[in-house]
Amino acid sequence: MRADISRSPTKLSWFALAPLVFFALIGGLLYWGLFNRTDRLPSPLIGKPAPQFHLPPIEGRTDGLSTADLIGQVSIVNVWASWCVPCRVEMPLLNELAESNEVTIFGINYKDNAKEALAFLEELGDPYTKVGADRTGRVAIEWGVYGLPETFVIDAEGRIAYKHIGPFNRHSLEADILPLVQRLQAGGGT
């Protein structure tokens, strides 16, 4: 009987600690999820040529967008839609960047209503040199897009150098995107 009494406190302490350990693990996962930068998730396309594509223009434009447009200069490709609320959030920064003439910005309009896409650009400004209409979403799939907006930095050889998921803000523009654009324009790598 004495052996049973000595084992009971040990068993009780493990049972008492198990919930604490469980909640500590859950808390750690929540903390990681809140502060992990999901806008910087790796893409298997980084360093590889942009997927081949040719898109027709959106309504109101004469020129569409193709892979050939991405070669010969450092550029940004922004995937957006008029129904995308975060796309509205980043549009003022895209317009500001376009006005600075630091880099050419191309747009891929994803599975959008033609009239609504045009109205979106008329209302919020049009930062794009060219915009292609990806009506079926096929090009976005080939680029690995799984949410809008997504922004890619393309080097002068047409390779994807960087992928930003979600709307970018001034900090991510100035800390991540523009320094990379400037390095690539100066002939440096990613």
pLDDT, tens only, 96-150: 999 999 999 999 999 999 999 999 999 999 999 999 999 999 999 999 999 999 9
pTM above 0.75, yes or no: yes
Residue 38 to residue 36: CA distance in whole angstroms: 6
Distance CA 50, CA 153 (A): 10
The HSE-up count of residue 29 (CA atoms within 13 Å, CB side) is 6
CA 172 → CA 20, 37, 96, 141, distances in Å?
37, 11, 14, 24
Residue type, 11: K
Q: Rounded to an integer, what distance in angstroms lies between the CA atom of residue 157 and that of residue 18? A: 55
The predicted-structure confidence for 35-71, as pLDDT tens digits, reads as follows 445 445 668 899 999 999 999 999 999 999 999 999 9
Residue 127 dihedral angles phi and psi, to the nearest 5°: -85, -5
Whether the predicted pLDDT of 16 surpasses 90: no
3-state secondary structure of 160: strand
Give me the residue label for tokens 């209409």: 133
Residue 94 has pLDDT above 80, yes or no: yes
Backbone angles phi, psi at 75, to 5 degrees: -145, 170
Whether 163 contacts 144, CB under 8 Å: yes
